[in-house]
C-alpha cells in the first residue's frame, strides 16, 4: 500500500510545478524572450513619455534592444519590431533606479499596452534617446508627425519636403534631393537671415557645406563636406554678424611621414612653389597627416582658382627628403569653386 500512495504524491507535485510554468514550458526567471502580461495601467500623468521609433528595413528584424524583464544591466531580450513600433511608454521615475560602474543606467518603464520593463541606457552613448536606443521623446515624435512642407527660407524655390527620425535625429529631405539634420538646417537658416538682401541665394549655397557653430565666440564656420580622411586643398569660411573671413587649408594624408616643408602647384600652364611653411602633424591608427592653414594672399587665390579649372590639377607636398604628388578630383575642384563663390556672396 505504501508504493501507490508515494506515486500519487509525486504525480501531484509534478502537476503543480507544470501549472506554474508559462506557455512553452520554460522558467520565467531564465527566459528573457518572454514579455510580461499586460497588467499595468497606463497612467503617465506628468511623467516623461517616449515612443518606439521607426527603424531602417535592414534593422527591423532585430527589434528593440535594452528592455529587460528584470532589473539588470545586461539582458538578451528583444521586443518585436512590428508589435512595438509607434507605441508610447513612460518612465516611472525621474532618476534611474540603478547605475553601474560603467555609467549604464536602469530605468523602470511602462508601455501603453500594459507591459512593464527595465530600460537600460548609457549617457556616454547618447542616453535614453541616443542613436542606438530605439526610442525618441514624445515631443520629438509629435513634432515630426505634424510637419508639413515649407520653403528652405522665404524666397527660396527649394522646399523642405519631409522629415524622418534617423538614429534619434530629425533628418529632413529637400526638394533637390539633399538631406540635412534639424540642427544644421537651423544653422543654415540663421546664417542666411543675417543677409536679408540675398538670404535665399545664400541659404541654397550653404547646403553644399557642413555648418558648425561656436557658441562661445558666436560665430559660424562653413566647411567643405568632402571626406576629411584624405589629401586636401581647400577653404573654409568664418562668419560673424559683422565679419566674414576666408582660410585656406593644405593637407597631406598618408601612411608615412613626409615632414612637409612646402608645396608646389601645377595647374596646366601654372607652376608655382610656396615658400617654406610650418606644417602641423598628427597621426592615428597607422595614418599620418600634416597640414597648414592661413589667410590666403592674392597669389594663393590665383593658384586655387587655377587648380579649380585645370585639366591636370596637381599639388606636390615637398618633405624633408621625399615628396608626394596629389591630383585633385573633380569634386574637390568643384568644392574650391563653391567656397570662393559663397565667400563672394557673403562679402556683398
Indicate if 122 and 172 belong to the same structural domain: no
Q: What is the pLDDT of residue 187?
A: 96
Indicate if 238 and 186 belong to the same structural domain: no
| Strands 49-52 and 88-91, bridge-based pairing | antiparallel
Indicate if 295 and 233 belong to the same structural domain: yes
Indicate if 265 and 328 belong to the same structural domain: yes
Mean per-residue pLDDT for 232-258?
94
Q: Is the pLDDT of residue 4 over 60?
A: no
Handedness of CA 202, 203, 208, 213 (dihedral sign): positive
- Is the CB of residue 107 less than 8 Å from the CB of residue 133? no
- Is the CB of residue 188 less than 8 Å from the CB of residue 204? no
Indicate if 293 and 334 belong to the same structural domain: yes
Q: How far is CA 106 from the centre of its chain?
A: 24
Residue 77: pLDDT band by 50, 70, 90 thresholds?
confident
218 within some domain: no
212 within some domain: no
| Strands 105-111 and 88-91, bridge-based pairing | antiparallel
Q: What is the pLDDT of residue 72?
A: 87
Q: What is the pLDDT of residue 52?
A: 96
- Give residue-wise pLDDT tens across range 89-139: 999 999 999 999 899 999 999 999 999 999 999 999 999 999 889 999 999
Q: What is the pLDDT of residue 132?
A: 87
pTM: 0.77
Q: Where are the beta strands (DSSP E) in 115-231?
A: 116-121, 135-137, 150-151, 159-166, 169-174, 179-181, 209-214, 219-224
Planar angle of CA 316, 319, 322, nearest 5 degrees: 85
Residue 73: pLDDT band by 50, 70, 90 thresholds?
confident
C-alpha span between 250 and 262 (Å, rounded): 10
Q: What is the pLDDT of residue 87?
A: 97
Count the domains in the chain.
Answer: 3
151 within some domain: yes
Indicate if 301 and 202 belong to the same structural domain: no
Coil, helix or strand for 347? helix
- Give residue-wise pLDDT tens across range 294-340: 999 999 999 999 999 999 999 999 999 999 999 999 999 999 999 99
Mean pLDDT of the chain: 88
- Give residue-wise pLDDT tens across range 188-230: 999 999 999 899 999 999 999 999 999 999 999 999 987 677 8
Q: Is the pLDDT of residue 276 over 90?
A: yes
- Give residue-wise pLDDT tens across range 120-130: 999 999 999 99
Indicate if 132 and 157 belong to the same structural domain: no
Indicate if 107 and 181 belong to the same structural domain: no
DSSP string, 257-303: -----EEEEEETTEEEE------EEEEETTEEEEEEEEPPPHHHHHH
Indicate if 255 and 178 belong to the same structural domain: no
Q: What is the pLDDT of residue 36?
A: 54
C-alpha span between 154 and 200 (Å, rounded): 7
Could you say which DSSP state residue 196 is in? Answer: G
Indicate if 341 and 236 belong to the same structural domain: yes
Handedness of CA 302, 304, 307, 310 (dihedral sign): negative
Q: Is the pLDDT of residue 31 over 60?
A: no
- Is the CB of residue 248 less than 8 Å from the CB of residue 228? no
- Is the CB of residue 254 less than 8 Å from the CB of residue 324? yes
Q: What is the pLDDT of residue 137?
A: 97
Residue 236: its H or E element: strand 232-240
Residue 348: pLDDT band by 50, 70, 90 thresholds?
confident
261 within some domain: yes
Domain that holds residue 317: 226-347
21 within some domain: no
Amino acid at each position: 500500500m505504501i508504493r501507490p500512495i508515494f506515486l500519487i504524491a509525486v504525480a501531484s507535485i509534478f502537476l503543480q510545478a507544470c501549472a506554474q510554468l508559462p506557455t512553452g514550458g520554460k522558467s520565467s526567471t531564465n527566459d528573457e524572450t518572454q514579455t510580461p502580461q499586460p497588467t499595468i495601467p497606463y497612467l503617465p500623468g506628468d511623467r516623461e513619455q517616449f515612443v518606439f521609433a521607426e527603424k531602417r528595413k535592414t534593422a527591423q528584424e532585430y527589434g528593440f534592444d535594452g528592455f529587460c524583464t528584470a532589473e539588470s544591466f545586461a539582458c538578451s531580450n528583444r521586443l518585436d519590431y512590428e508589435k512595438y513600433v509607434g507605441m508610447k511608454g513612460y518612465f516611472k521615475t525621474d532618476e534611474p533606479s540603478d547605475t553601474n560602474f560603467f555609467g549604464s543606467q536602469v530605468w523602470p518603464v511602462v508601455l501603453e499596452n500594459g507591459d512593464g520593463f527595465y530600460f537600460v541606457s548609457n549617457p556616454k552613448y547618447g542616453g535614453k534617446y541616443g542613436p542606438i536606443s530605439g526610442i525618441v521623446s514624445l515631443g520629438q515624435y509629435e513634432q515630426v508627425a505634424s510637419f508639413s512642407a515649407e520653403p528652405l527660407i522665404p524666397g527660396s524655390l527649394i522646399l523642405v519636403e519631409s522629415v524622418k527620425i534617423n538614429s534619434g535625429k530629425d533628418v529632413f529631405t529637400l526638394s533637390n534631393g539633399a538631406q540635412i539634420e534639424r540642427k544644421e538646417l537651423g544653422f543654415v537658416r540663421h546664417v542666411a537671415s543675417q543677409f536679408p538682401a540675398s538670404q535665399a541665394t545664400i541659404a541654397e549655397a550653404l547646403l553644399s557645406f557642413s555648418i558648425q557653430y561656436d557658441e562661445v565666440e558666436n560665430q559660424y564656420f562653413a566647411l567643405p563636406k568632402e571626406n576629411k580622411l584624405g589629401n586636401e586643398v581647400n577653404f573654409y569660411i568664418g562668419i560673424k554678424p559683422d565679419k566674414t573671413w576666408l582660410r585656406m587649408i593644405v593637407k597631406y594624408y598618408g601612411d608615412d611621414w613626409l615632414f612637409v616643408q612646402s608645396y608646389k602647384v601645377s595647374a596646366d600652364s601654372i607652376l608655382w612653389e610656396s615658400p617654406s611653411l610650418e606644417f602641423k602633424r598628427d597621426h592615428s591608427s597607422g595614418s599620418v597627416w600634416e597640414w597648414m592653414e592661413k589667410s590666403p594672399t592674392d597669389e594663393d587665390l590665383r593658384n586655387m582658382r587655377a587648380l579649380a579649372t585645370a585639366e591636370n590639377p596637381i599639388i606636390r607636398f615637398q618633405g624633408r627628403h621625399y615628396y608626394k604628388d596629389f591630383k585633385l578630383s573633380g569634386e574637390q575642384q568643384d568644392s574650391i569653386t563653391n567656397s570662393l563663390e559663397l565667400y563672394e556672396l557673403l562679402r556683398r
